[in-house]
Amino acid sequence: MPKKLITVSVPVYNEKENIRPAYERITAVMEGLANYDYEIVYFDDGSTDGSRERIEALCAEDSRVKAVFYTRNFGYSKTVF
């Protein structure tokens, strides 16, 4: 039986210092769930602090990390839906 996929959505707006810590915490929890596959999707809501570059680096490092980059700030509710 194939593993079920869990998608963890992470909204981001000027959170460059939290990108890696969030990834590490999510990964630590998900690796403990042997019966599931997972992916982490960062939704960057037009950050201007370098968050995009940090997310792109994670995407290059780990194929389970995905990203959506908005061209401007649309607000939290629009980012995750």
Provide the whole-model pTM.
0.87
Tens digits of residue pLDDT in 20-54: 999 999 999 999 999 999 999 999 999 999 999 99
Give the C-alpha distances (Å, rounded to integers) separating 27 from 16, 20, 33, 39, 81: 18, 10, 10, 9, 23
CB atoms < 10 A from the CB of 38, how many? 17
Residues near 64 by beta carbon (within 8 Å), at least 6 away in sequence: 38, 39, 40
